[in-house]
Amino acid sequence: MNNKGTPVITEMKVIPVAGYDSMLMTLSGAHAPYFTRNIVILTDETGNTGIGEVHGGDDITKALESYRDYVIGQEIGNYKTIVNTIKNKGTANCDNDGEGLQGLDLKNLKFVVHAETAVECAMLDLLGKFMNLPVCALLGDGQQRDEIQILGYLFYIHDKDKVDLPYLDESDSSEEWFRVRRKVALTPQSIVEQAKAAKAKYGFKDFKLKAGVLPGAEEMEAIKALKKEMPDARINIDPNGAWTLKEAIELCKDKHGTLTYVEDPCGPENGFSSREVMCEFKNATQFQVATNMIATDWRQFYHASALKAVDIVLADPHFWTMNGSVRMAQVLNDWGLTWGSHSNNHFDISLAIFAHCAAAAPGEITPMDTHWIWQDGQDLCSNAMKIKDGKIKIPDRPGLGIDIDIDKVMKANELYNKMDNHDRDDSMAMQHIIPGWKFDSKKPTLVR
């Protein structure tokens, strides 16, 4: 027993897992029937368990496995040094072209994701339990709030019955939201139906529509329909840079009072980077702009801020690490800008990661987005955080405040092991809808 410092880590498990998804549409294509994640479980000498979650894919699993020798035998209180060590000495993904997510090419996602976040989270979970403090109290300047406002993340959904793929069917569910989240949604009316069902289930007061699927003018009709149905809601749109600068200005210039802010409206064009183009969009429309594409690391953020291209940085802790995300929140608050968090398909451990980072972020943060509502019912923990009245309440428990259910994890691992390919590929399902479909960062998914 180590009596002079914090407990020592004695075991590290890396367990790749999979879950079920809807046929959600984005600029990159259609979500496949399954999504993958990696779970890290650390055990210390006291018998406590710490957990973390990060994106899936074989490259990220390989990176996590390479960290083991740098983690086992280390004190949990030394987690910052350990995270820095594994970042610099663990297996790194090669062939990074530096493009990042400016053009939303998902093959670059593995270069943006920080696999070490899963280890960082698991160590913070252990340290919080040792110190009898929630993880958010260990980040930045400590816990800033007890509750986090969450927005309802809305998607266009294609018809799963028109493709020969094993999407879930929840048409006989007693829960309206569970039925709606698997239904076709390609019209303004169906998007409004989706929002109403999500609001009834989770109490959302704010919404974001994932665009880049239909012609921009049609997507704006959905935004107008949402605002008419819910006039007090903050409503945002995210086309992932699909629109040209000219189109983005035309679509948004008269939407003050309808849209609260616009997320990544346009991308690189005519030799100019996304940061330069979005600066011009801001100047032309006077809209606040958010991003999870043009400021995914500190070097990118320097250039984005120098150009005043963004007002809201959606600092996903899986891209920034948890400490990095909260450090970004501190900088943004000091500079009079705004912090928020982007999400991807994830389980409930990542939901807790988002919540604790948001709880530690200072200032007036923007409502946090999450995919968890699309995966609700597949939790890997016995007491997952829940969204109620549009908010997540930080548990009155140390660490993350949630407990892993290893039986559920291993069941998700079984599903993972049945998959032929573990890397995200949104083009696969699109081949069933539009034969020969290929990703084009300047063409909405269904505009071919």
Q: Among all residues, which ones are annotated catalytic?
A: 210, 342
Residue 101 and residue 108 in contact, taking contact as beta carbons nearer than 8 Å: yes
CA distance 241 to 67: 35
For the chain, counts of helices (H) and of strands (E): 17, 16
CA distance 151 to 268: 28
> Looking at 301-358, which runs of residues are DSSP E strands?
312-314, 338-340
Residue 263 and residue 291 in contact, taking contact as beta carbons nearer than 8 Å: yes
Going from the C-alpha of 35 to that of each of 245, 264, 346, 414, 418, the distances in angstroms are 32, 24, 8, 13, 12
Going from the C-alpha of 37 to that of each of 15, 229, 320, 346, the distances in angstroms are 9, 36, 17, 7
CA distance 238 to 236: 7
Query: Residue 98 in 3-state DSSP?
Result: coil
CB atoms within 10 A of CB 62: 14
Burial class (CB in 10 A: 0-12, 13-18, 19+), 91: middle
Which residues have C-beta within 8 Å of that of residue 358, sequence separation ≥ 6? 145, 148, 341, 365, 368
Which H or E run contains 330? helix 322-334
Crossing angle of helices 322-334 and 116-131, in 10° steps, is 90
Strand partners, 36: 18
Which H or E run contains 278? helix 274-285
Dihedrals phi, psi of 325, to nearest 5 degrees: -65, -45
